[in-house]
């Protein structure tokens, strides 16, 4: 009975052809076609296994400043009820549209509501023990993050500057303020880093190649590691 349950050589060859066709269609990115256990057992043992598809990795602390959230065009949000950027979902865009007039008028309660709803720093929680953000004025946004001590010990100024720049970029992309002040704290509350990034200073920068430490120092950074 066990012999009858095994696939014939013709069936196995047919499945191999299907697998080859799938690889051609999907460029090798679709993964292996499922094979029954019997077919796997009869495959030649000296044939090297197919390499697994590469996994996408999120940027680490050495590159997190190179990307940032897309800038919200609040005048566009005011004028249109549906997304025009091809990126924002309808629900979030509806929120932007309903609040755009107050944002453009500099209403601080609306600023706070936008920060809570859009959560522009949500992707950075892995790199800090905690992050807060606030809008003390229509022209200034502030954020404080509690350092992960292991990253601080390992990367020092690089870690602090990378966090400072990415936080500033995401905040200024979210709301039309002129500057973003970032503070990094030790676990005991001591200040490890402070810098204020202005929109003008960040404009026309090639973030893929700049040194975040040098930029932080341009922005008057204070380090106390």
Q: What is the pLDDT of residue 34?
A: 29
Q: What is the pLDDT of residue 35?
A: 30
CA distance 154 to 140: 31
Bridge partners of 147? 128
Q: What is the pLDDT of residue 9?
A: 54
> For the ranges 11-15, 49-53, 216-220, which has the lowest average pLDDT?
49-53
Lookup result for tokens 């090297």: 48
CA distance 127 to 150: 10
pLDDT in tens, 42-52: 333 443 333 33
Q: What is the pLDDT of residue 59?
A: 57
Q: How many CB atoms lie within 10 A of CB 104?
A: 15
**Mean pLDDT value across residues 139-160:** 97
Q: What is the pLDDT of residue 83?
A: 94
DSSP-assigned letter for residue 82: S
Lookup result for tokens 């996994």: 55
**Mean pLDDT value across residues 118-138:** 96
- Residues 164 and 143: beta-carbon distance below 8 Å: no
With 90 as the cut, is the pLDDT of residue 140 above it?
A: yes
CA distance 171 to 77: 17
pLDDT in tens, 160-211: 999 999 999 999 999 999 999 999 999 999 999 999 999 999 999 999 999 9
Confidence class of residue 86 from pLDDT cuts 50, 70 and 90? confident
CA distance 133 to 31: 42
Q: Cα 95 vs. chain centroid, distance in angstroms?
A: 22
The string of DSSP codes covering 47-61 is SPPPPPPPPP----T
**Mean pLDDT value across residues 103-117:** 98
- Residues 114 and 141: beta-carbon distance below 8 Å: no
pLDDT in tens, 44-80: 344 333 333 333 334 589 999 999 999 999 999 999 9
Report phi then psi at 42, rounded to 5: -90, -5
Assigned token pair, 60: 């680490």
User: pTM score, two decimals?
Assistant: 0.73
Q: Cα 145 vs. chain centroid, distance in angstroms?
A: 17
Q: What is the pLDDT of residue 10?
A: 53
């Amino acid at each position: 009975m066990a012999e009858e349950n095994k696939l014939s050589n013709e069936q196995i060859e047919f499945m191999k052809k299907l697998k080859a066709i799938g690889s051609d269609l999907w460029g090798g990115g679709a993964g292996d076609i499922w094979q029954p256990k019997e077919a796997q057992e009869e495959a030649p043992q000296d044939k090297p296994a197919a390499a697994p598809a590469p996994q996408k990795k999120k940027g680490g602390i050495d590159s997190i400043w190179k990307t940032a959230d897309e800038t919200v065009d609040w005048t566009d949000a005011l004028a249109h009820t549906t997304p025009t950027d091809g990126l924002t979902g309808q629900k979030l865009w509806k929120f932007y549209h309903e609040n755009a007039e107050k944002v453009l008028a500099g209403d601080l309660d609306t600023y706070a509501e936008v920060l809570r709803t859009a959560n522009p720093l949500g992707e950075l929680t892995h790199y800090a023990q905690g992050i807060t953000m606030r809008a003390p004025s229509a022209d200034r946004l502030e954020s404080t993050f509690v350092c992960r001590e292991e990253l601080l010990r390992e990367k020092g100024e690089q870690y602090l500057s990378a966090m400072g720049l990415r936080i500033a970029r995401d905040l200024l992309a979210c709301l039309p303020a002129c500057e973003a002040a970032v503070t990094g704290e030790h676990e005991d509350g001591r200040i490890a880093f402070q810098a204020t990034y202005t929109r003008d200073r960040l404009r026309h920068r090639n973030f893929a190649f700049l040194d975040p430490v040098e930029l932080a120092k341009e922005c008057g950074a204070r380090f106390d590691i």
